[in-house]
Structure 1
Amino acid sequence: MKANWYRVMLCCGYNPLTGKTMSRINMHDVNPGGRDTFLQKLGIFRHQFVDQYAPEEEVIDRINAYEPDWLYMNKTELMRLVLYAKRTGKKIFHPKFYDPISEKVTENDRALFIEQLGPGIIDSYGTAETGACMLRLPGKDYYAVHNDSFVVNVIDEDGQLTRQGRVVITPLYKTDLPLINYEVGDRAIMRTWQGVHFITEMEGRLNDYFRYEDGRVTSFFEVTPVIAHCPDILQIRFIQKSWDLIHVQIVRDENAGMTAPQLEEYISGSLNQIFKKPFQFEFEWMKVIPPDPNGKLRMIVCEVA
């Protein structure tokens, strides 16, 4: 696990030998928060853990006191901190690199992270089965694959390469044959430039679809432009309650150019132009959208069929 993360760090230009890392506590860490090892006391492989479930003020104070070069937490956990900082004006130390992990980072998320944490955002992608296999570096609009260790393909229902489809990951570092292809339900968009394939968009498997009575669906990719082109939206979650009703949880920028009623009209009008049939909308305005029980945040939750 740590070796995989060190690979990501090195690809970004971070040196884990001399840098300072801070991360959330997770079940893979042995004695998190315990005393430094002998090497860490010498300034090598320094790593501190922060309780991601502590109050926002406390977590930010820990980050500011340690001043990490690399910070990584689940996206929802990090989003909780930047929303608090934006709401209260509290400053957060800007790490050289930070990685909101385990969930899709939307363009709205990215803009807010950069505003509150600086330009060093890293967007890594992987699975529990394979580890991180590709990453999006600061300032880039595509993911770079660790192509000496993985092959990542985007395929259609017939198993053929396609511009938009299912993600299949093949680790190359395993010496046993046959090679194993991992498909966990994520989807991606790919473009080709000068004969080289680039993955530009990822859709995590946690996102559901908007569903219709006749069996058709509308995907996350189809509605993303509506949200991405509206910087007044800081967080949003769609909960489809019935075949005709969508409940929208939303966090609005306090300095937004649009009022709440204008945003409601923009979202409902824009989405109904995309949907295959019109929906009714109800809006719940919030300061922070709470994560799901697994600690992650789905943008689309379908509660029908």
Structure 2
Amino acid sequence: MLEALQKKLINFLVLKDLIELYNNFPFNAAQVEKIQKKKLARLVKVAYKNPFYRKRFDECGLTPKDIQTPEDLLKLPLLKKAELRDWVKSEYEKNPARFKHWFRDSTSGSTGAPLVTYLSAHDKAYNMAAWIRMGAVQGLNPFFDSTFCLVSPHRLKKQGDSILQKFQLLKRTQVSYLASPEEMVECFNQEKPVFMYANKSQYVQMALYAQKNNVKLSPLKLYASAAETLDKQSRDLIESQFGMNRMYDTYGSTETGALAFELKGKRNQYIICHDTHIVHTLNEEGKSASSGRAVITSLYHYGFPIINYDLGDGLDIFEKDGLKYISKINGRLDDWIKFEDGEKLPFHFFYEVMEKRKEISQFRIIQETYHDVTIILVESKDYNVPHVEVQTKIQEELESLFQKTDINYHFEWRDVIPFDENGKLRMLISKV
């Protein structure tokens, strides 16, 4: 009953959490130490009561009293993505009714193996507030500033204003990221939003279209990039069309939430959200270093605690005034499929096709030439469908989606897809 009510009142919970997080910024070392100590103590107590983590504590001979500082967390083992995926799936299958009033989130699948997570209303509200805070501290008014965003087709909401939106509150326009650049730009200029957020690839698509066709984009007060590493070339192009010194890059993931962000106009200095997360970087020997693998602990996920989560990214860290900052995010570049006629498409198009295939647990796309694409697949243990049947369905959908008749699709089935040297597993690789 309480969970059902909390879910209905999610916007009020978000507002409450946003006020708290907004007032925590800007950070200072003394304040951060106090906040982290309090939240960490609560987190480990919650985790210790969870069978999954209790086993980890017991195997290391630890109790909550042994985890009092961020450094103490490294006494516990790392949490791998596959472990998190299996744990969440197992708990859901044991008792689906328990999660009836929880929020279901899923990663984009850019690693080739989407991860489904469930968040209580408390966890979801804090998660949403943390993302909103990144813009709010830079002048965004989340209630009155209209938002434009590019989302997965299955997440599109019915395009009709709510009562609040009719009074110009929480105005939001959503467009499918599978729409053509022309459609994206036309809708964008028609709506004239104040704020926008999207992946780098989507910004690039719109910017290239605007540049090529001499279309002037409606001015934005602020806009945010997410999910993909923002390289200099792409950033320069985006800012040339959408406006200089109004863009900020964000860093995070579906499972961990909002981790860090830039201030608009200030490149290569990501402010870590110290009041919501603890970030470690470990070298190949598993020791703390200024450059290494990102290991994340969320200070607010209580439904499925995220402790020492191996995110798979590489980070370069520096310290200033007693606080950690990120100077560089490594290993998050996603390739595009490139066609001979000059057209380019990001990984989302393949994701929309592969997400429907429950017979597949993991996949990778490799464009060998303009006319040859290799699709590597890992069979799901829960399904037993002939490979030829799966391949035929995939090829038919891709041909329908791309409208290209000169591409040869080559399928390979494997037991596992190995990680790249940087620790990531890119879903899409183009050798063209």
TM score, norm. by length of structure 1: 0.66
Q: Which amino acid aligns with 1:96?
A: K
Larger Rg: 2
Q: Which amino acid aligns with 2:346?
A: P
- Which of 152, 166, 172 aligns to 2:279? It is 152
2:336–2:345 contact (8 Å) kept in structure 1: no
Give % identity.
30
Partner of 1:301: 429
Aligned with 1:294: secondary structure?
A: helix
Distance 2:230 2:224 in 1: 10
Partner of 1:8: 134
Aligned with 1:174: secondary structure?
A: coil
Q: Which amino acid aligns with 1:54?
A: A
Q: Which amino acid aligns with 2:139?
A: G
Distance 1:139 1:121 in 2: 7
Distance 1:146 1:205 in 2: 20
Distance 1:45 1:151 in 2: 31
Partner of 2:308: 181
- Which of 57, 63, 68 aligns to 2:182? It is 57
Structure 1 residues 204 and 99, CA gap change in structure 2 (3 angstroms): farther
Q: Which amino acid aligns with 2:178?
A: Y
Aligned residues: 230
2:152–2:176 contact (8 Å) kept in structure 1: no
| Unpaired stretches in structure 1, ≥5 consecutive residues | 208-236, 240-248, 250-283
Structure 1 residues 49 and 197, CA gap change in structure 2 (3 angstroms): same
Q: Please list, as runs of the form range in 1=range in 2, the aligned pairs for 1:1-305 lying within 5 A after superposition.
A: 2-26=128-152, 29=155, 32-119=157-244, 120-140=246-266, 141-175=268-302, 180-205=307-332, 287-292=342-347, 293-294=350-351, 301=429
Q: Which amino acid aligns with 2:167?
A: L
Deviations 1:206-248 (A, max 9, x none): 66xxxxxxxxxxxxxxxxxxxxxxxxxxxxx599xxxxxxxxx
Higher deviation after alignment, 173-182 or 154-163: 173-182
Distance 2:346 2:336 in 1: 13
1:19–1:46 contact (8 Å) kept in structure 2: yes
Aligned with 2:219: secondary structure?
A: coil
1:33–1:48 contact (8 Å) kept in structure 2: no
1:103–1:204 contact (8 Å) kept in structure 2: no
Higher relative contact order (CA 8 A, sep 6+): 2
Deviations 1:124-176 (A, max 9, x none): 11111111211112122300111111111221122322122111111111357
Structure 1 residues 100 and 190, CA gap change in structure 2 (3 angstroms): same
Structure 1 residues 285 and 35, CA gap change in structure 2 (3 angstroms): closer
Query: How far apart are 1:8 and its partner, in Å?
Result: 2.5
Query: How far apart are 1:63 and its partner, in Å?
Result: 0.6
Q: Which amino acid aligns with 2:429?
A: V
Judging by fraction of residues, say which structure has more strand. Answer: 1
Judging by fraction of residues, say which structure has more helix. Answer: 2
